[in-house]
């Protein structure tokens, strides 16, 4: 999988709005490490698709505020 991530030019992430912001941050860290490139996402182009008006990340026993804090919009990326 690492070799594939080093060779690809684009990652398309559909329904990213349902993912926790930590997932995006983990992808950023992993790509920087694999590609030995300190640019955001290791210099790889990432296309994020989804509708923020639909489903937010699911946080078990979380409050609506917890869901908003887990949302990609709350990530510094």
- At 77, the pLDDT band (50, 70, 90 cuts) reads confident
Q: CA 40, 24, 70 angle in degrees (round to 5)? A: 130
- Enter the pTM of the model: 0.80
* Dihedrals phi, psi of 13, to nearest 5 degrees: -115, 100
Cα three-residue angle 42-21-54, rounded to 5 degrees: 120
pLDDT digits (tens, 9 = 90+) for 23-53: 999 999 999 999 999 999 999 999 999 887 7
SS3 10: strand
**pLDDT of 60 higher than 90:** no
> What percentage of the chain's residues is helix, strand, coil (to nearest 5)?
50, 10, 40
């Amino acid at each position: 999988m690492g070799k594939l991530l080093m060779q690809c030019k684009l990652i398309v992430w559909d329904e990213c709005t349902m993912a926790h912001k930590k997932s995006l941050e983990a992808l950023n860290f992993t790509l920087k490490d694999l590609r030995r490139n300190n640019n955001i996402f290791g210099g790889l182009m990432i296309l994020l698709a989804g509708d923020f008006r639909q489903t937010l990340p699911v946080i078990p026993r979380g409050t609506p505020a917890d869901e908003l804090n887990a949302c990609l919009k709350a990530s510094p990326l």
